[in-house]
Amino acid sequence: MNVLIVGSGGREHAMAWKVAQSSSLSKLFIALGNAGTTSCGENISLNLDDHSAVIRFCKENQIDLVLVGPEAPLAAGLVDSLTADGIRCFGPKQAAAQIEASKVFAKDFMARHHIPTARYATFTQFNEALRYLESVDYPIVIKASGLAAGKGVILPDTFEEAKATLESILVNKTFGEAGLEVVIEERLSGQEVSLMAFTDGTSIVPMLPAQDHKRLLDSDRGPNTGGMGAYAPAPIFTADMMNEAMEFILQPAVDGLRTEGTSFVGVLYAGLILTDSGLSTLEFNCRFGDPETQAVLPLLETDLLDIADACVDGNLKNLDIQWKSGASVCVVLASKGYPEKVETGKVVTFEDLPENLACFHAGTKMDDGKVFTSGGRVFGVTAWADSIADAVHQVYDNIHKVSFDGVQYRRDIARRALRKTSYAESGVSIDAGNRAVDLMKDAVKSTYNSSVLAGIGSFGGLFDASVLKEMKSPVLVASTDGVGTKVKLASSVGRYRGIGHDIVNHCINDILVQGARPLFFMDYFATSKLNPEQTAEVVTGIAEACKESDVALLGGETAEMPGVYQPNEFDVAGTIIGVLERDNILPRTNLQSGDALLGFSSSGPHTNGYSLIRKVFADTALDTFFPELNATLADALLAPHRSYYPILYSFLSHVKALAHITGGGFIENIPRILPDNLDAKIQLGSWPVPPLWNLIQQKGNIPTEEMYRVFNMGIGMVVIIDKIKAAEIQEWIPERTFVIGELVEGNKKVQLVN
């Protein structure tokens, strides 16, 4: 059989890799392909927009079957043109491909066929869309209706952001024809699962459920991307969920398209979200997913060409599709600058990979026998093994064998699956505990550097202090703190990882105000009865925060104390050690009247004031959504305490003093760094106070001065600098800051003025 695969990405390399294993294959062509697909078949240069040229190639090379990878050629009607000339195609025709190519069509289609999806409305005019926006009382998603290269889905956090997005799409035509219509729909909450299925237009065979990772950085931070990795099968997606998806989503979609006269042949992809009220459909795609395909196809036992043949011939029900046992994990290697300004043209070096690993090329090209990067997502390194845990270890143990200058990748792909697997399969058992401890060890060890001589598992941590020899007059700085009653709030909603960030970042900020850089951290976790899943979540959060600030997490203590703590309660504390030169200790002695107070935005209440907050909201459910916050109460209150170290440390030579706004708020904390003859004069209204504080003050009927005594009011760090340098330093700092006041003659207190 002669086969043509259309496409040039990682998905198409995975398809070519799988097709090349078929006993039915005679010759494989890939248009346009990449440097990796050359090992599977012959790359050819074809103008895919010129359908007559594609038809001519197929006839000249006696192509028996065409498999179309990307959505753009499907939406452009390539399958229609080929099939009209008698060329067999695995992929939907243009009318059926609308289910991805037009989000308006997809939403209306789901409504017609009673497929569960979020509430929505569609618009072509800005003013009409704006009026609707003003009427909704739930968080929203705005989608450009057409194909926008994966960039047409926007999640605005405020009304102003939503308004600006609508104006950009409908008025300024940011997405061109893809944005002639927009969909405004309700933003649902829950884990997302990708479920792809083979279909011949009548029968459906689902593939293994997968989960991908859209954000660029670990812990789902950073900008959205086309996908930084995936794993399959997703443990969270149960057999009952699969039955629900087949009965209420996939089968109604295939049946609905057929009854509307546009039978769907190929791969139907359902983007699902697991809400509290059941499965809901976020989107449909008309092709294999990317990078899900790179994780799913290595586990496919049945010949892919046999499946494609059965779909095209309408015989899928007669084919028994088999899958390998075990699991697969794909980690995407991306270029420096991705997903924005991408650096390309970097030479790639390879080492041999084990048999159970594959390196799927995406943005690569071959030149003079060498492989160079040519796009944002460059490779998908995939491992398959008996379990997700084994696959994770395999892929990360070998990922360094594919390298190029500026490579970036996530180091936490499939970590949530490991946590789900241990809990779902074993509950709180010894096996689950061992897996949680293993996960904790991985997270802790990821923070180690060459100075760590002994860490987790030792009686005490050992840290090589020879770095101090390079300093003129080194001073060690230490801080110990806890998170306080915020842990009770986190425990009540089962959200623990952010607490780990809280304790580390609080301690880092406390030594930063003295001018120190952190060296290492040690934690203390105590609970009534050890829950391995809970413990691993908190400690993993601690490790993540340490890694972000290049701090070694040497280890700590986990204590189980029934009777001391109430059931399901826990507490966490930590100690940090840092260092600085004696001459650089803050605050400096040259503070004077007229110095400017520069405010850095907080990320929420941080770790202070939660006793009062819990009292104010004692009668309010934590899942209550507040429009003015554009978030639930739990989301607003559990935002992790930010670290100011990464953004401030390099500017400390220009700083006279720092005040971390913790317990005691403005009124208690700023005087701690003032000499006896100066006051801090704070100009109220000089920065935007986040709506959470207004909500707390109004609901609790709290006096303004008390608010500034308890809370940070949206300013988590106050920097005192020479007034003359203020504007220049603000330009240097890559985030918005606020001149919130100045030092004046006084007696070591805070003046709040309107």
Domain boundaries, the chain: 2-98, 119-186, 193-403, 428-579, 596-753
Least confident among 166-175, 399-408, 415-424, 694-703: 415-424
475/516 Cα distance (integer angstroms): 9
Spell out the residues 6+ positions from residue 468 whose beta carbon is closer than 8 angstroms to its own. 474, 579
**Binning pLDDT at 50, 70 and 90, where does residue 3 land?**
very high
pLDDT over 70 percentage in the chain: 95
pLDDT surpasses 90 at 148: no
pLDDT band at 560 (very low <50, low <70, confident <90, very high): confident
Q: Which amino acid is at 312?
A: V
Amino acid in the structure at residue 30:
I
Contact 680, 596 (CB under 8 A): no
215-221: long-range contacts at Cβ-Cβ below 8 A with a sequence spacing of 24 or more?
216/334, 216/338, 216/339, 216/408, 216/410, 217/410, 218/410, 218/411, 218/412, 218/544, 219/412, 219/497, 219/544
Q: Is 748 helix (H, G, I), strand (E, B) or coil?
A: coil
Mean pLDDT (whole number) for 239-254: 94
Alpha-carbon gap, residue 650 to 670, rounded angstroms? 22
Whether 456 has a pLDDT exceeding 70, the answer reads no
| pLDDT of the residue at 421 | 37
Residue-wise pLDDT tens digits, 570-598: 889 999 999 999 999 999 999 999 999 99
% the chain with pLDDT above 90: 74
Spatial contact of 346 and 333, defined as CB atoms under 8 Å apart: no
pLDDT average, residue stretch 209-235:
92
Which of residues 463 and 62 earns the better pLDDT score? 62
* Average pLDDT of the chain, as a whole number: 91
Whether the per-residue pLDDT at 563 is higher than 70: the answer is no
Residues 180 and 123: their CA atoms lie apart, in Å, by 9
pLDDT score at 567:
67
**If pLDDT is split at 50, 70 and 90, which confidence band does 412 have?**
very high
87-132 pLDDT, tens digit per residue, is: 999 999 999 999 999 999 999 999 999 999 999 999 999 999 999 9
pLDDT at res. 419: 60
The pLDDT of residue 453 is: 75
pLDDT at 434 (0 to 100): 46
User: What does the pLDDT read at residue 189?
Assistant: 84
CATH of region 428-579, choose from 3.90.650.10, 1.10.760.10, 3.30.1330.10, 3.20.20.70: 3.30.1330.10
Annotation: CATH topology of 119-186:
Dna Ligase; domain 1 (3.30.1490)
CATH class of the region 2-98: alpha beta
Band of pLDDT at residue 562, cut at 50, 70 and 90: low
What is residue 436's predicted lDDT score, i.e. its pLDDT? 47
Residues with Cβ within 8 Å of 3's Cβ and at least 6 positions away in sequence, in order, are: 19, 25, 27, 28, 29, 41, 63, 64, 65, 66, 67, 305
Is pLDDT of 424 > 70? no
Q: Average pLDDT, stretch 275-289?
A: 91
Q: Which pLDDT belongs to residue 428?
A: 31
Helix or strand holding residue 334 (H, E): strand 327-334
Superfamily of domain 596-753: PurM-like C-terminal domain (3.90.650.10)
pLDDT band at 367 (very low <50, low <70, confident <90, very high): very high
pLDDT in tens, 675-693: 999 999 999 999 999 999 9
**Global pTM value:** 0.59
235 phi, psi to nearest 5 deg = -60, -30
433 pLDDT higher than 50: no
Give the range among 252-266, 369-383, 423-437 with minimum mean pLDDT: 423-437
Q: What is the pLDDT of residue 437?
A: 56
CATH of 193-403, one of 3.40.50.300, 3.30.43.10, 3.40.47.10, 3.30.470.20: 3.30.470.20
Q: What is the pLDDT of residues 522-538, one digit of tens each?
A: 999 888 777 777 888 89
Query: What's the pLDDT score for residue 22?
Result: 97
pLDDT tens, 284-309?
999 999 999 999 999 999 999 999 99
